[in-house]
Amino acid sequence: MKHIVVLNPKGGCGKTTIATHLAVYASTLGIHVALADHDKQQSSCDWLKSRPRRCADIAGIAAYDGEAISGEYEIVIHDMPAGVARSQMSIASACDKLIIPLTPSPIDIKAALRFWMTLSNTGWLDDDKIDIGIVANRVKANTKYTQTFDSFIERIGIPRIATLRDTQNYIRSLDAGLSLFDLPPGRVAQDLIQWEPLMEWTGFFDIDDDELDALLQSEALGFDGLSAGNQLADNYPSASEAGRDEKLVSFEDMQLEQLEEEMSLDEFTEVEY
C-alpha cells in the first residue's frame, strides 16, 4: 500500500482539489484507491457523496472521525486539514510522497516559510527517503507577484513538480462531484496537460509515457511527454486568455458531451452473440 499525503497548514491552498484529482486519476486506471479525509470540514467526503454513480469508484475514509484505513488498497490519498503542522507529522512521516500545494500570495508564502522551517527542524528536508514536492496552484500569469512567488520556491529548495493555472473549471467540476479527468478531454486539455508532471513524479501509476499522453490528451495541444507539462508551467496562459477559453462552453454542456461520448462508445462496443 502506497500513501500520498497532501499537506499544508495554510487553508485554502487547494489540498482537496489535488487529493480528489489524484484519486480520480488512479481510479480511472483501475487502481484500488481510497481517499482519506482528515479534515473535520469533510470537503473530500462531501465531494465523494455528490460524485455520480457512473464515475469510477473511489473508497472514502472518514479519518477526521477516527475511521481506520482497512482494506486492500493499492494507493491511499490523504487530504490533510489546515492547522498546526507538527500535529500532522506522524501521519505524514509514513507517506511515500508528500505534496505541498502553494498559492501565490503574501499570506500563503509567509505560512509556507513557517512550514518549511518545521520540515527543516524535523530533518525531513535532509532525508533522502522522504520525497517532497510543491504544486504551484491557482497561478495567474503576467502578474507582478508571480516573480516573487517563483523566486520563493527556488530559494526554499523544494522542487516544484507542477504548476496549475487559476481556472473556474476546478470549481465547477468539484461542485458536481467530478474532476477534470471526468470531463471531455478536448474541453479541458490545457488543464489536463499541467497534471502530467505531477503524475510522473508520484511514480505510483504503472503506465508508460505513451499511455499517459493518450490519457491526458496532450496531443491536443501539440506537446509531448513530461516536457509538455514543464513548458506549460513556464508559459501558462494569462487570466484573460483563460477567461476567453472558458466562455466557449458551459459546464453543463461539458457533462452532456461526456455522457454522449460514453453512450456512443457503449453502442460501438456492443457485440451480438
Long-range contacts of 39-42 (CB under 8 A, 24+ apart): 39/15, 39/64, 39/79, 39/80, 39/81, 39/82, 40/64, 40/81, 41/81
Output the nine-digit C-alpha cell for 75. Answer: 494507493
Per-residue pLDDT tens over the stretch 16-41: 999 999 999 999 888 999 999 999 99
**Three-state SS for 109?**
helix
State phi, psi for 61 to the nearest 5 degrees.
Answer: -125, 120
Q: How many domains would you assign to the chain?
A: 1
Asked if 22 and 202 touch (Cβ cutoff 8 Å), the reply is: yes
Say what the pLDDT of residue 219 is. 40
**Three-state SS for 270?**
coil
Say what the pLDDT of residue 78 is. 96
Q: Using 50 as the pLDDT threshold, list the residues of the chain that sit under it.
A: 218-249, 265-273
| E strand or H helix that includes residue 69 | none
Per-residue pLDDT tens over the stretch 77-106: 999 998 866 667 777 777 899 999 999 999
Output the nine-digit C-alpha cell for 224. Answer: 509531448
How many C-beta atoms lie closer than 10 Å to residue 86's C-beta? Answer: 11
Say what the pLDDT of residue 258 is. 60
Query: For residue 82, what are the domain limits?
Result: 2-269
Say what the pLDDT of residue 165 is. 94
The whole-model pTM stands at: 0.78
